[in-house]
Chain A
Amino acid sequence: GEDVEQSLFLSVREGDSSVINCTYTDSSSTYLYWYKQEPGAGLQLLTYIFSNMDMKQDQRLTVLLNKKDKHLSLRIADTQTGDSAIYFCAETHRDDKIIFGKGTRLHILP
């Protein structure tokens, strides 16, 4: 079956690193995405990684992919209040079908 799982909530202190985890079940995934949704807004693509990569870094964002364990993570360094949002993990397959997780709500503590 096709399923993308992620924890629903994460609380992190401002200035610390946030790590949001995601697991997926389909090994034929081609791309894996992280989206951010701020209150009242649509989804914003943060970053993506090809399935043949292990890691991708983009400024404060680091994506790690463990294909063997079907585990994807998003690390946000030096977490700021503006990072407070819901983060969605998603995977696509060769037929362009996209499967989303239910989202992780990141809460920033002062």
Chain B
Amino acid sequence: NAGVTQTPKFQVLKTGQSMTLQCAQDMNHEYMSWYRQDPGMGLRLIHYSVGAGITDQGEVPNGYNVSRSTTEDFPLRLLSAAPSQTSVYFCASSYSLADTDTQYFGPGTRLTVL
């Protein structure tokens, strides 16, 4: 298994540009989520999905959209990038939300918005 993969690893955007961060997992996990990690802060949940066709907002959803058309993929879209969205983004997945399951994290995408 490849586990959780994210692309790209690095991205530089100008303010107002749009882009999609890709996340895929090959473990047949139902639960997927997106976090952002900022210097000196912990991870903050942006959006999550408990299964194909179902998404919900996390702690910091503004400025981001998600969709879950398949179990494997959970892309994160920035419609109009802002400098405040400069961060490292992590995608994670787990089999379910049950407490018996651990989350698997992708390697991260480092985004800089100028």
Chains A and B form a bound pair: yes
Which of A's residues lie within 8 Å of B, judged by CB?
A: 8, 33, 35, 37-40, 42-45, 48, 84-86, 88, 95-98, 100, 102-103, 105
Determine the distance from Cα of A37 to Cα of B101 in the docked complex, in whole angstroms: 10
Interface digits, B85-114 against A, CB 8 Å rule (1 contact, 0 not)?
A: 000101000000111101111011010000
Residues of A with C-beta under 8 A to B110: 95-97
Inter-chain CB contacts under 8 Å: number: 55
Which of B's residues lie within 8 Å of A, judged by CB?
A: 33, 35, 37, 39, 41-45, 48, 58-59, 88, 90, 97-100, 102-105, 107-108, 110
Q: Report the minimum CB–CB distance from A85 to chain B (whole Å).
A: 7
Q: Contacts A42-B59, A45-B42 known; A98 to B98 CB distance under 8 Å? A: no
Residues of A with C-beta under 8 A to B43: 35, 42-43, 45
- The 8 A-B pairs of least Cβ separation, nearest first, read A45-B42, A42-B45, A103-B102, A39-B99, A100-B105, A43-B43, A40-B97, A102-B102
